[in-house]
A and B are shown apart, each in its own frame.
Chain A
Amino acid sequence: GQQLNQSPQSMFIQEGEDVSMNCTSSSIFNTWLWYKQEPGEGPVLLIALYKAGELTSNGRLTAQFGITRKDSFLNISASIPSDVGIYFCAGLTTDSWGKLQFGAGTQVVVTP
Chain B
Amino acid sequence: EAGVAQSPRYKIIEKRQSVAFWCNPISGHATLYWYQQILGQGPKLLIQFQNNGVVDDSQLPKDRFSAERLKGVDSTLKIQPAKLEDSAVYLCASSFGSQETQYFGPGTRLLVL
Q: In the complex, what's the smallest C-beta–C-beta distance from B45 to chain A, in angstroms?
A: 5
Task: Given the known inter-chain contacts A98-B33, A98-B48, A99-B48, please indicate yes or no for A42 contacting B99, CB distance below 8 A.
Answer: no
| Inter-subunit contact B31/A98 (CB<8 Å) | yes
Interface segment among A13-21, A53-61, A72-80, A100-108: the answer is A100-108
Q: How far is the CA of A98 from the CA of B107 in the complex (A)?
A: 19
Q: Does B65 contact A (CB under 8 A)?
A: no
Task: Given the known inter-chain contacts A97-B55, A98-B48, A98-B95, please indicate yes or no for A44 contacting B104, CB distance below 8 A.
Answer: yes
Q: Which residues of A contact B55 (CB under 8 A)?
A: 97-98
Q: How far is the CA of A87 from the CA of B91 in the complex (A)?
A: 16
Q: Which residues of A contact B56 (CB under 8 A)?
A: 97, 99
Q: Does A63 contact B (CB under 8 A)?
A: no
Q: In the complex, what's the smallest C-beta–C-beta distance from B70 to chain A, in angstroms?
A: 21
Q: In the complex, what's the smallest C-beta–C-beta distance from A96 to chain B, in angstroms?
A: 9
| Inter-subunit contact B105/A102 (CB<8 Å) | no
| Inter-subunit contact A105/B103 (CB<8 Å) | no
Interface residues on A, range: 20 to 34
| Inter-subunit contact B41/A100 (CB<8 Å) | no
Q: Which residues of B contact A100 (CB under 8 A)?
A: 43, 45, 102
Task: Given the known inter-chain contacts A42-B91, A97-B98, please indicate yes or no for A102 contacting B106, CB distance below 8 A.
Answer: no
| Inter-subunit contact A41/B41 (CB<8 Å) | no
Q: Which residues of B contact A103 (CB under 8 A)?
A: 42
Q: Which residues of B contact A35 (CB under 8 A)?
A: 104
| Inter-subunit contact B45/A41 (CB<8 Å) | no
Q: Does A45 contact B (CB under 8 A)?
A: yes
Q: Which residues of B contact A90 (CB under 8 A)?
A: 42
Q: How far is the CA of A35 from the CA of B45 in the complex (A)?
A: 15
Mask of A69-94 contacts with B, CB within 8 angstroms, 1/0: 00000000000000000001010100
Q: Does A49 contact B (CB under 8 A)?
A: no
